[in-house]
Amino acid sequence: MKNHKFTLGGALIAASLIYLFITSVEQSAATHMTLSTLMQTATNDFDRQRIQLGGCTVVEGSIQWDQYRHRPEFTITDGDRVMKVRYRGNGVLPDTFKDKAQVVLEGHYNNKKQFFEAQVVFAKCPSKYEGQDYQGHVEAMKVRDAKETAW
Amino acid sequence: MVEIGYFSLCLALVAAGYALVASLVGARRQHLGLVRSGERGMLALTGLLTVAVAALWHALLTHDFEVQYVAENSNRAMPTLYTVAALWGGQNGSLLFWNWLLCIYGAVVILCNRHRYRLLMPYVVVGMAGSGLFFTFLNLFGADPFTRLPFAPADGRGLNPLLQHPVMAIHPPLLYLGMVGMAVPFSFALAALWSRQLDTTWLRAARRWLLIPWTFLGAGLLLGGRWAYEELGWGGYWGWDPVENASLMPWLAATALLHSAMIQERKGMLKVWNLALAVITYGLCIFGTFMTRSGIIDSVHAFAKSNIGPFFSTFLVVLLLFSFGLLWSRRKDLKAENRLESFASRETAFLLNNWILLGMLFAVLWGTVFPLLSETFTGEKITVGPPFFNQVNIPIGLVLLFLTGAGPLFAWRRTSAASLRHNFSVPLLAAAGTGLGVLILGVRDGYALMSLSLCGFVGGSISMEFHRGARARQRNAGESYLQGLYGLLSKNRRRYGGYVVHVAMIVLFVGFTGKAFTVEQEFVLAPGESISVEDYTVRYEALAESEDANKTVVAAALSLFQGDTFLGTLLPAWHHYRSFDQRTTEVSVYSSLREDFYLILVGNSEDDSAKFQVYINPLVNAVWLGGLLFVLGSLWTMWPTERDRRLAALDRRTVQGLPVSESASL
């Protein structure tokens, strides 16, 4: 049994895997952007490109639910700029979606009407590892302690 | 108590360093006293970490909110179960917990092998103590769980309601036990390389220590899926999130190692490959932890960015460079003793299985780090979602499923054409029968047809193995057929227990295939109205609202019918936790063996009309059932047999690799 037959077999498998990778990436890829790059580079033919928009938070008080609290319109901000978002997906939004939540959106940008049409909304999970966000807690405790003393 | 914990942690750093150096010097100089002392150092490390963990648990249970970790991760209102679980609920505590489990593994390995593998063990201790040293260092200088606050808050922040689910109390420890445990086979591989004991001894020694974390990791993955399914309300259990991928990857590598180890034991081949796989498996565990906690990858679970990333990447680089350097320097002693003789052999099937598993692993890795890669090389950050992972992994998974059935049908070395025809006939018939059966039942999806036929194929192959074995025992030992089956399972646990795990894989694949038939629909109903979905009818009866100290609950009551048969009342709801301003969606599921009727209350209007979303998930329960069978099968496989006990007793009497005078003094 010659060894190069196995090399050939291995190469064939590797080649088909790579082919599989490339074709699959093409079909499900989304370009990751921050709000500022999106707003700077957006053109009118942008609505064909699937975009993942990261690094934004939901503007407090901006969430407008539809009648059954399914597909909201809301505004996101990176601290600097803002953008309107319409949710068009099927799934129920994650429970972590609320005011000031960090969100990652996937969908298309409509440059003419200046809003982002989101098919998927990821909201920051209440990860167990959020120990860094401590200052907020200290503030909350102080407010609460103050209230308790007031009573 | 907290001071005691911190002090133990400081001492633990010393103990870990000592265990490492003493074992290393002891092994190099063949100094028995030092080797033993190194082992005791490792035991001391375990003891000290136990004290540290106990101190943190004490702080949690006594609500010592002056401790930052306690204030951040628990509060007074939390049920005790979750207060206990808060030990691994936050980053710093979970790293201490991780470290503790690592050292427990180390201690148990030492205690089990006091008289065995004497040439390997000192280096095994070096490997384990090295990891222990790293994690203790991390706990002291990067992730200290004992940091105090300048003041003591009246109450802590507590655990997010989404994580207050019983599964979340067991799922992380299971995953940790799986990830951490991979340090043991890694340490054995390191020991084999370092001590130049490059025969199959290390594999024999490490096999059970690979099976244990492998089982934990598999069970942890499935439990995580179960939690997502019940709690997150999107009708699925697996989303190819980086956090999920991080624990799937080492499991795939370990699965490959479990299989390729068999070729080395039998044929003396793939020596380098197996050592490399042991290193890669542990490396992936560290990489996964690094990836999910350093903030380099945007994930749904978006672990907060923290400063421990550089610690992990440094550790990972050192670990890989050192291990592969050692492997490279020993390459001359790792020549294969045999070559592949034929394509149609079990060796080839195993080899193929390894390539496919690694291909799958690579696909998952590729998709997970693709955003980073594309940004580095093209400047544009491209992300890939679940469609990529599904598209790539479904075909790979089907090939793997085929190999699961085909492997046992090949003989070692070479298989004649006649015996191939003979062996493949029954499984192929089973595949054709299953395929035809599900086609008649109305399955038209190509992948689903293939998957279910292949499940039939594997089922046929495994049944044939059991049947042949039982018949042989019937003939030779005069046992009844059933006794024969039991005899196979109990006398050759490794082989037939392995087949039970393969059956579990069939059941799992049936469950995965069900995803192809999922039906999803949303509808609005007013009280009293009904709607038909597939062959179900739901009638919306009423909406109820209630409040307690923590939360507001809005629940809808619906009656579920199939034809005219009343199946039950569904109560989908949403809760609103006031202190967190956190809403949780509570799904309601009517479960049968055939499928789940999974109902979500999307929202309600002021007139009590409500919007619902339903997922009909066929065969999803096969996933949980397969998971259970997986655990049972692997437990059965790793349970010590009479032969293991005899061998252990023999090892105790003849201590390997030491002069008789020294071994007598042990």
Q: Verify whether the Cβ–Cβ distance A104 to B300 is below 8 Å.
A: yes
Buried b (16+ CB within 10 A) or exposed e, B239-250: bbbbbbbbbbbb
Calculate what percentage of chain B has a pLDDT beyond 70.
96
Taking residue B488's Cβ as centre, other Cβ atoms within 10 Å add up to 20
CA angle B70, B579, B145 (to 5 degrees): 15
Which residues of chain A lie closer than 8 angstroms to B77, CB-CB?
A: none
B72 and A134 in contact by Cβ < 8 A? yes
The answer to whether B89 contacts A27, with C-beta atoms less than 8 Å apart, is no
How many CA atoms within 13 Å lie on the side-chain side of B440? 5
Of B301, B381, B605, the CB nearest to A67: B605
**B67 DSSP assignment:** B
CB B171, CB B220: distance < 8 Å:
yes
Pick left, alpha or beta for residue A31 (phi over 0 → left; psi -120 to 50 → alpha; otherwise beta): beta
CA distance B526 to chain A (A): 12
Task: Dump strand ranges (E) for B550-637.
Answer: 551-562, 565-570, 573-577, 582-586, 588-591, 595-604, 610-618
DSSP type of residue B115: T
Q: For position B255, what pLDDT does the model report?
A: 96
Chain A residues in contact with B395 by the CB 8 A cut-off are: 20
Distance from CA of A48 to the nearest CA of B (A): 15
Interface test with B, best of A13, A63, A92, A121 (most B CBs within 10 A): A92
Residues of chain B under the 50 pLDDT cut = 302-303, 656-666
Could you tell me which of A136, A131, A139, A137 has the C-alpha nearest to residue B147?
A131
Measured distance CA(B426)–CA(B433) in Å, rounded: 10
Q: What's the pTM?
A: 0.91
Residue whose structure tokens are 């609202």: B545
User: Taking CB atoms and an 8 Å limit, are A127 and B162 in contact across chains?
Assistant: no
The pLDDT value given to residue A2: 54
CB contact (8 A) between residue B154 and residue A65? no
Say if the ipTM goes beyond 0.85: no
pLDDT score recorded for residue B306: 66
What is the pLDDT at residue B654? 59
Residues of chain A short of pLDDT 70, as ranges, are: 1-3, 125-151
User: What is the model's pLDDT at position A130?
Assistant: 42
Identify the closest residue of chain B to A130 by CA–CA distance.
B304
What is the phi/psi pair of residue A84, to 5°?
Answer: -80, 145
Ordered alpha helix ranges (H), B407-540: 417-440, 446-477, 481-491, 493-514
- The answer to whether the CB atoms of A90 and B301 lie below 8 A apart is no
CA distance B184 to B205: 10
CB contact under 8 A, A27 and B387: yes
Contact B381 A104 (CB under 8 A): no
pLDDT of residue A147: 41
Residue contact A69–B163, C-beta within 8 A: no
Instruction: Give me the pLDDT at residue B666, please.
Output: 36
Residue bearing tokens 């009280």: B527
Give B-chain residues touching A129 at CB under 8 angstroms. 90-91, 94, 293, 303-304, 306
Under an 8 A CB cutoff, do B234 and A130 touch?
no
What is the SS3 assignment for A22? helix
Q: Which of A21, A31, A145 sits opposite B392 (nearest CB)?
A: A21
Phi/psi class of residue A79: alpha, beta or left (left: φ > 0; alpha: ψ in -120 to 50)?
left
Query: Scanning every residue of chain B, which has its alpha carbon at the shortest distance from the alpha carbon of A33?
Result: B381
CB-count burial class (<10 Å; 0-12, 13-18, 19+) for B591: middle
Interface test with A, best of B342, B382, B540, B585 (most A CBs within 10 A): B382
Contact B71, B65 (CB under 8 A): yes
How far is it between the farthest Cα atoms of chain B? 90
Closest partner residue to A127 (CB to CB) among B302, B375, B386 is B302
Cross-chain residue pair B162–A126, CB shorter than 8 Å = yes
| 3-state class (DSSP) for residue B524 | strand
